[in-house]
Structure 1
Amino acid sequence: MASILIENLDQRKVEAIDLSRPVLKHLQDQQIDWMFACGGKGRCTTCKFELCSDAQALEPDSEAETRYRRQGALKKNERLACQAKLTGDIRIRVPDECKLPHMHYSDE
C-alpha cells in the first residue's frame, strides 16, 4: 500500500492499495475531481501533477510521458496522473493550469 498526499487540496491524503493502477484511478476512487480530457489514455497533458517528493516512489515514465517530455509539454517534476504508477508514498500538487474552477485549492 502507498499514499498520495495532495498538498494544495488541503493536504488531502489518498490511500492506494492496488499499485498496478495509475494515480488518476486512485484519485477517482476517492471522488476527487481531477482534470483529464482524453479519458486517461495518455493522449494529452491535462491530468498532469507536480511531484513534490522523491521520483523513485513512481515507476519510470510511460511512453506517453517520454513523448511529452521530448516535446517540452512535461517539466522534469511533472507526471501524468493517468500514466504514473506508484511504488511508494508521494506528495503532489495540482499545477495552476490544471486546476478546476469549482474546486477550492489551498496555498499549502
Structure 2
Amino acid sequence: MPQIVIENLFNLRINSTSVHRKVIEIIHENGIDWMHACGKKGRCTTCRIILKSGAENLSPPTKPELDFLQQGRLKTGERLSCQAELLSGKIVVRVGEFNKFPHINYSE
C-alpha cells in the first residue's frame, strides 16, 4: 500500500488506497494543509517537498520540475507535490522551512 511519511509532522503516516495520484492530492485528502499558490499547476514551487527517501516510488520529474531544477528554483532531492505521482511503496518527505504554515505545530 502506498504511504507518505512526513518526518517533521511527528512522522505522520498517510496510507493511500490508490496509486498514480499526485502527492499533494493524497496529503490534502487526509486533512493536512500543504502550501500551493498556483492552484496545483506546477507554476510556482510553493508545494515542494524535500524527499528523504523513496524517489523510486514516484513518477519521473515533469517538465516544470526539470525547468525549475535548471533555474535553481528546486534543489536536488526536492519535488513538486503537485507534479509527483505516488506510484507504489513509501516515500519519506519533510516540509521545508520556506513553506511551513504558522498555524501548524511541526516537530522540528
Q: TM-score range by the shorter chain?
A: over 0.9
Structure 1 residue runs of 5 or longer lacking an equivalent are none
TM-score (norm 2): 0.95
Which residue matches 1:45?
45
Work out the number of aligned pairs and report it: 107
TM-score (norm 1): 0.95
- State the percentage of identical aligned residues: 45
Which residue matches 1:58?
58
Partner-residue secondary structure (3-state), 1:33: coil
Which residue matches 1:99?
100
Structure 2 residue runs of 5 or longer lacking an equivalent are none
- For residues 55-84 of structure 1, what are the alpha-carbon distances to aligned partners after superposition, in whole Å with 9 as ceiling and x for unaligned? 111111011111111111111110001011
Runs of 4+ that moved beyond 4 A: none
* Residue 11 (1) aligns with residue 24 (2): no
Distance of 1:44 and 1:101 partners within structure 2: 20
Partner-residue secondary structure (3-state), 2:5: strand
Partner-residue secondary structure (3-state), 2:21: coil
CA RMSD of aligned residues (A): 0.9
Distance of 2:3 and 2:11 partners within structure 1: 12
